Structure 1
Amino acid sequence: MIKPLPLDEAGIISTVLEGMLYGFSLLMFMATMYTLIAGRKYGQINFPMVVVACLLLVSSTIHIASDVKRLYSGLVRFRDTYPGGPPAWFANGSDPSFVFKNAIYTFQTALGDGVVIYRCYMVWRSIWIIILPIMMWLAVCTTGVGCVYTLSQPAADSGDIFVRRTGQWITSFYATTLACNLYATALLSYRLWTIDRNVHGSRVGRGLTKPVLTIVLDAGALYSITLIAALSCFVSKSNGQYVVLDMVTPII
């Protein structure tokens, strides 16, 4: 029988992995800013994407800072004073620091899903094609707010986020953001593929559509696999979901 992962150990592992991915995301952010700004005139800069990229970095920075603070609080500050020790402290789902980091994650998820939908609109140029993704996005926002609100309400079972009171909201949130991301990425990828197929016989050189399509598919697959892992861990009531959850933020 596999021994359950203690929550204090999960906190250490998740923060270390999040820090490694955060460092990589910093490099990706600098590359993104260079691509969006370097060599372009003021009127040529895609400011919405610049703002979104900055918001994603800021939210990811706040999230990892919150995790480092939680690690210090659980393992040092309240180690000998909190009833049950560090594992019990990390298990407290209604702690303000845990609620705050989940609010940041919810905001970042909604922002990231919104970007994918925006890209769909830009390549399809049709509001009708994104009606269903927008409805999914609204479901993501609703379930995300439900998760944060439920966690913020102290209860006798606050030490177990897998109970029905919180579990139904969290499961719904994972499922809706996964569905939204998969559907929007599929729409985007299909449009890029059809564009590449239509110009294949007339273009000179390699073209840019296929490399962009590859990037879109790789990014969508990475995010989707991470969400599936988080959802699977949560449904199976594994503390590994805490590890995967903290990894999602820099991945977005």
Structure 2
Amino acid sequence: MAPLSITAAHLWGLFIQSLCFGVYLVTVGFTIPPLLRTGNRFRRFGELNLVMLIGALALCIFITFDMVLSFYHSLLAFVSATGPDAATRVYTDISSWINLVNVLFETVVGDLMLIYRCWVVYNRSWLSVSPSIILWLGCLACGIRVIFLAGTLHVPALVNSEKTYPYHSAFWGISVAVNIVTTSLLVWRLWTIDREASQYRTSQSVRHESLLRHVMRIILESGMIYTASAIATFITVVAKSTASYPITALVSGI
């Protein structure tokens, strides 16, 4: 099979990102209101979880902005640009500000929110989440390095160019590790609490048991979905495949 061209990769990416963005908007409708309301009233300022609210709004802004940029990028490539191979020229301008603002920001913020939830579940113990924080800092450093190198390259290149390749692949590899470690810590903590509380349960407390296990299942399933997509991105980046563009578009909508 012939390798995916850069123009086809971006068009597939725009298509996949559009589908995921629609699904994401639906989930926002379920996740944002509980952060703002309790019962039949809006939460008072002191009742707001500002970290989760700001993080959720930041992700919403980043993902929406990335969707708009992807569409604008396609307009530049196929409508505004002229000359031979105009679309390829636009898409390989790696130092363009459009190419610099991408899913790396969303990934860093999303990973940080996952670590925050783990920190809260572990009763705000910094020691418990220290492995995740160290990995996240490494991921952040690699992301900043990728953006810096891409912004100063000023030659036609793909995102997996020789200069950015080591840091780009390391970014996704570390992000996968952050999600596996942090999700495992969350599930382990909830499972331990559920096991310790089981000896005090009566027939009337079965509902509480099912709720806790339901939470564990949601965390595990969502973690597996995102981690699987991040692993797929890591594989395509390491393989220097243009398939990393549509796969990355999938990650941005999860």
TM-score (norm 2): 0.90
1:110 aligns with 2:99: no
2:34 aligned partner: 35
Aligned match for 1:67, one of 66, 70, 85? 70
Kept in 2: contact 1:11–1:243 (CA 8 A)? yes
Q: Deviations over 1:122-145 (max 9, x none)?
A: 111222111111111110110000
Q: How much does 1:55 deviate?
A: 0.8
Partner Cα distance (1:222, 1:195) in 2: 24
Kept in 2: contact 1:143–1:170 (CA 8 A)? yes
Q: Deviations over 1:23-73 (max 9, x none)?
A: 111111110122223325414332321111111101101111110000100
3-state secondary structure, aligned to 1:115: helix
Aligned residue identity for 1:115: M
3-state secondary structure, aligned to 2:253: helix
The within-5 A match list for 1:1-252 is 2-38=1-37, 39=39, 41-42=43-44, 43-78=46-81, 80-81=82-83, 83-100=84-101, 102=102, 105-125=103-123, 126-156=125-155, 158-203=156-201, 204-207=205-208, 208-251=211-254
Partner Cα distance (2:231, 2:237) in 1: 10
Partner Cα distance (2:240, 2:126) in 1: 39
Kept in 2: contact 1:195–1:209 (CA 8 A)? no
Percentage identity across paired residues of the two chains: 26
Q: Deviations over 1:191-243 (max 9, x none)?
A: 01111122234331222211111111111111111111111111112111011
Kept in 2: contact 1:196–1:209 (CA 8 A)? yes
Q: How much does 1:164 deviate?
A: 2.5
3-state secondary structure, aligned to 1:206: helix
Partner Cα distance (2:7, 2:22) in 1: 23
Partner Cα distance (2:206, 2:159) in 1: 54
**Runs of 4+ in structure 1 over 6 Å off:** none
Partner Cα distance (1:154, 1:95) in 2: 10
More off after superposition, 47-56 vs 171-180: 47-56
Number of residue pairs matched? 244
Partner Cα distance (1:62, 1:3) in 2: 32
Partner Cα distance (2:65, 2:128) in 1: 34
Partner Cα distance (2:198, 2:244) in 1: 44
3-state secondary structure, aligned to 1:165: coil
3-state secondary structure, aligned to 1:202: coil
Partner Cα distance (1:68, 1:128) in 2: 43
Kept in 2: contact 1:21–1:247 (CA 8 A)? yes
Kept in 2: contact 1:8–1:75 (CA 8 A)? no
Partner Cα distance (1:120, 1:166) in 2: 31
Partner Cα distance (2:93, 2:246) in 1: 16
Kept in 1: contact 2:18–2:67 (CA 8 A)? yes
TM-score (norm 1): 0.91
Kept in 2: contact 1:113–1:177 (CA 8 A)? yes
Query: What is the CA RMSD across the aligned residues, in angstroms?
Result: 1.6
